Amino acid sequence: MAVEDCEPKGQVKLLGTSQSPFVVRVRIALALKGIHYEYIEENLQNKSPLMLQSNPVHKKIPVLLHNGKPVCESMIIVQYIEETWSSKAPNLVPKDPYDRAIARFWVAFVDDKVGPCIRGIFMGRGDEQQKAVEELVANFLWLEEALRTSGKAYFGGDEIGLVDIALGSRSQWIKILEKVTNIVLIEPEKMPLLRAWMERFLEADGVKQVLPDEAKMLEFASAIRARFAAAPAGN
């Protein structure tokens, strides 16, 4: 079994922005593993040469630099952190191949289904927004079912895992969305497990310390929505 002297040392840097839920994912993984790193705030209106050189294909954050070598895409970075520091608890990814496949399935579900709905509600108006709300509620019901089947505190089991990080990083945005649109997305009666999970996640050690300030996020979200509301319809 791997022992502490095998623990890779080296320089870890994270390029990110303070509001991005994708950056939050990586910060949570690093915090849970107790990995020290240098955080570099990027200005997306004026991307740094380091960012452009580290992610030339997408020019997006987050980017993790480990001993100068860049890793891109949030959930790929989280898996990289787990595999590189696999001897450090907690394990973010299940050991069993089947359980891993289930975890990856739900991570893809969060990014392919939940993400676009959140954006649709945030940016949309009228019927379009309503349709996105209905789809998001349907997606959340699937996640409620997944939690009920697992019967544990987190999607990852007794501790936070890959799916918790993928979905949980969006929790603040979900709450803010509920505030700015005045729509309840995770109704406690219909989705008691999901609601409880969200509160538990946001309070967890390793998570609460890295979450962006809620008041600032609300301001940021309201500003974007106002800008979209003022813009002419139909892009």
Partner 1 sequence: METCAEDEVQVKLLGGSTSPFVLRVRIALALKGIDYDFIQENLQSKSELLQKSNPVHKKIPVLIDNGKPVCESMNIVQYIEEAWDNKAPNLIPKDPYERAIARFWAAFIDDKVGPCIRGVFRGHGDEKQKQVEESVANFLVLEEALRTNPCFSGKPYFGGDEIGFVDIALGGWLAFVKALEKGTDSVLIDAEKMPLLSAWTDRFCEADGVQEVMPDPVKLLEFICATRVKFASLAAAN
Would you tell me which residues interact with partner 1 (CB under 8 A)? Answer: 57, 66, 69, 71-73, 76-77, 79-80, 83-84, 97-98, 100-101, 104-105, 108-109, 142
Closer residue to partner 1 (CB): 31 or 93: 93
- Residue count (the chain): 235
Shortest distance in whole angstroms from residue 216 CB to partner 1: 30
Shortest distance in whole angstroms from residue 226 CB to partner 1: 30
Q: Which two tokens stand for residue 2?
A: 């791997």
Shortest distance in whole angstroms from residue 155 CB to partner 1: 14
Closer residue to partner 1 (CB): 18 or 86: 86
Spatial CA neighbour of 168 closest among 62, 1, 25, 33: 25
Shortest distance in whole angstroms from residue 146 CB to partner 1: 9
Closer residue to partner 1 (CB): 105 or 228: 105
Closer residue to partner 1 (CB): 97 or 232: 97
Shortest distance in whole angstroms from residue 227 CB to partner 1: 26
The 10 Å CB-count burial string (b at 16+, else e) for 99-134 is: eeebbbebbebbbebbbebbebbbbbeeeebeebbe
Shortest distance in whole angstroms from residue 116 CB to partner 1: 12
Closer residue to partner 1 (CB): 163 or 221: 163
Q: Which two tokens stand for residue 206?
A: 């390793």
Closer residue to partner 1 (CB): 86 or 129: 86
How far apart, in whole angstroms, are the C-alpha atoms of residue 17 and residue 8?
26
Closer residue to partner 1 (CB): 28 or 207: 28
Shortest distance in whole angstroms from residue 230 CB to partner 1: 29
